[in-house]
Amino acid sequence: MTGDEQLAVESGRQFVGAERVDALMKRELERFGERNPRSKAIHDSAGEALLSGVPMNWMTRWPGQHPVFFDQARGNSLTDVDGHRLVDFCLGDTGAMTGHSPKPTVEAAAARLEKGITTMLPSEDALPLGQEMTRRFGLGHWQFSLSATDANRFAMRLCREITGRGKILVFNHCYHGSVDETVATLVDGAPQGRVGNVGPPVPIAETTRVVEFNDPETLERELAHGDVACVLAEPALTNIGIVLPRPGFHDALRRLTREAGTLLVIDETHTFCCGPGGYTGAHGLEPDLLTIGKPIAGGIPTGAYGMTDEVAGRVLDHTVWEAADVGGVGGTLAGNALSLAAARATLSEVLTDAAFERMISMGERFEAGVQAVIDRHGLAWTVTRLGCRVEYMLGESRPVTGGEAAAAFDPGLDALLHLYMLNRGILMTPFHMMALMCPDTDEADIDAHTEALSEAAVELLA
Ligand SMILES: Cc1ncc(COP(=O)(O)O)c(C=O)c1O
């Protein structure tokens, strides 16, 4: 029994037995097979032309014998090829936090499609979009990429260039996209490539320092080496479950990075869920650079990175304009007219201040529903909310580091809960029990999740 399990037993909280999980998994797999014959047929034949039968390898990571193929997605639900309506709390892992195919974005994109998609020239949407980013996030100089991964990659390159330092620092169990330097974890106090890290160019310790989130003392020690160009941080971890910053952590992070001459890059790709200006806007953070992607153009590929006046000045001083096209920052389609038109419409008409108010209140309802189930059944779980994003995790207490969150993870139970929900028409974010609200999420759909979770709890503890 782990320490956490012991604690739970002593406090009368309930853990779920592995045998029970296995038995329910068997039953749910059968149910999944019966429910999804068309998806199975497509997947079986897709193997002829696609590696593992999917267009992107991580799509194999859904529970069930094969992924469910979807037909249509609108608002907060989608219809799969077997005709089931699924309430979508995954929302493309934030790419569809706007709801699927939001009307203003679709209309702006459709108009743009008729008038030129990509030209290598700037379009008129760029300025109002940049101004809106500044209004929301408080940084005055923006550039656009095609993904959050690229926004992070470019931001990091710029930080290395202007500081003349070679390393970056990230928090244990972070995820910032497929950026070489960030695919790292902490093993016995030393940086190590993550399990499954494909083809790292050099050992991760050569490029990256890793510390636990919420640990300013170790952060200070690692920054003291004087070789860290930037800290790249989600303001709350969201990719190993949600790990919230402890009071005072962000003040310490900002003070220590300033003292060390290290730039602070805040990645708002997921924490945008905290409000119109993300966690940064909601909590008054002062990053040197800010990166974002996924939902800002309603699902049309777009990323962005912004910087302060001071950083912008240094970047301009270091830019070799004659070689700006081959310097390692940018991309031919980055800043294309379609992405900018979609982003402008999304920010001005979809992810508005009023929309966030509603989404966050739906998040509160979701959180309250999960908490009620935990309390009613005495489950040794916690629920954490970050704006309109909610996560339930195993364990008696909320983790304060990525390492603790990883240790609490139970892959068997996690897979079962995902499958259980999917079989009842509810799509949760894969990899952990996370739910995101979009402007179309409504009370009935949230309550359907609460009911399904309650039903699962009864069965798990039977
Ligand atoms: C915090 C964060 N940053 C960046 C990314 C990369 O996003 P993308 O894969 O769209 O480039 C992710 C993806 O999950 C993320 O969670």
Ligand 1, atom 13, residue with closest C-alpha: 177
- pLDDT reported for residue 420: 98
- pLDDT reported for residue 7: 53
- Nearest atom in ligand 1 to 294's CA: 10
Ligand 1, atom 3, residue with closest C-alpha: 176
Residue 5 has pLDDT above 70, yes or no: no
Q: Is 269 in the pocket of ligand 1 (CB under 6 A)?
A: yes
Reduced to 3 states (helix: H, G, I; strand: E, B; else coil), residue 230 is strand
Q: Tell me the domain boundaries of the chain.
A: 3-100+353-461, 103-350
CATH code of 103-350, in short, is 3.40.640.10
Q: Is 212 in the pocket of ligand 1 (CB under 6 A)?
A: no
Eight-state DSSP code of residue 426: E
Q: Which of 340, 337, 235 is nearest to 277 (CA)?
A: 235
Ligand 1, atom 15, residue with closest C-alpha: 176
Using a pLDDT cut of 70, give the percent of the chain over it. Answer: 97
> Does domain 3-100+353-461 correspond to CATH entry 3.20.20.70?
no
Q: What is the DSSP string of 177-228?
A: SS-GGG-EEEETTEEEEPTT----SS-GGGTEEEE-TT-HHHHHHHHTTS-E
Encode pLDDT of 268-321 as tens digits. 999 999 999 999 999 999 999 999 999 999 999 999 999 999 999 999 999 999
- pLDDT reported for residue 3: 57
Bridge partner residues of 435 (DSSP): 390
Residues 381-387 have a mean pLDDT of 97
CA-to-CA distance for 455 and 462, rounded, in angstroms?
11
Rounded (10°) CA dihedral 405, 411, 414, 418: 130
- Nearest atom in ligand 1 to 147's CA: 11
Q: Hey, which of 173, 270, 272 would you mutate to test ligand 1's pocket, going by the most ligand atoms within 8 Å of its Cβ?
A: 270
**What is the band of 370 on the pLDDT scale with cuts at 50, 70, 90?**
very high
Ligand 1 centroid, distance to 25 Cα (angstroms): 30
Q: Are strands 208-211 and 167-171 parallel, antiparallel or unpaired?
A: parallel
CA atoms within 13 A on the CB side of 194: 21
Ligand 1 centroid, distance to 23 Cα (angstroms): 35
Q: Is 177 in the pocket of ligand 1 (CB under 6 A)?
A: yes
Q: Is 267 in the pocket of ligand 1 (CB under 6 A)?
A: yes
